[in-house]
């Protein structure tokens, strides 16, 4: 189980890339793989700091 997660990688998974392509085609800009705030260890897949919005994509 651990080896599977290690192989998968942290970012640029297939579902994440599909969502990012659609958003970018519509002109939506975002940050990728960023901590939304310093207090947390979690890193959001798509982050809009100005709007205080974080999206996590499982996959």
d(CA 52, CA 47): 8
d(CA 36, CA 46): 10
Instruction: Report pLDDT for 9.
Output: 64
pTM for this entry:
0.75
Mean pLDDT, contiguous 10-residue spans, the chain (59 residues): 68 92 97 91 92 90
User: Could you tell me if 23 and 46 are in contact, meaning their C-beta atoms sit under 8 angstroms apart?
Assistant: yes
């Amino acid at each position: 189980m651990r080896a599977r997660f290690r192989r998968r990688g942290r970012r640029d998974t297939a579902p994440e890339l599909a969502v990012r392509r659609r958003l970018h085609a519509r002109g939506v800009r975002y940050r990728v793989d960023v901590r939304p705030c310093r207090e947390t260890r979690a890193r959001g897949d798509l982050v809009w700091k100005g709007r205080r919005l974080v999206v996590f994509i499982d996959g």
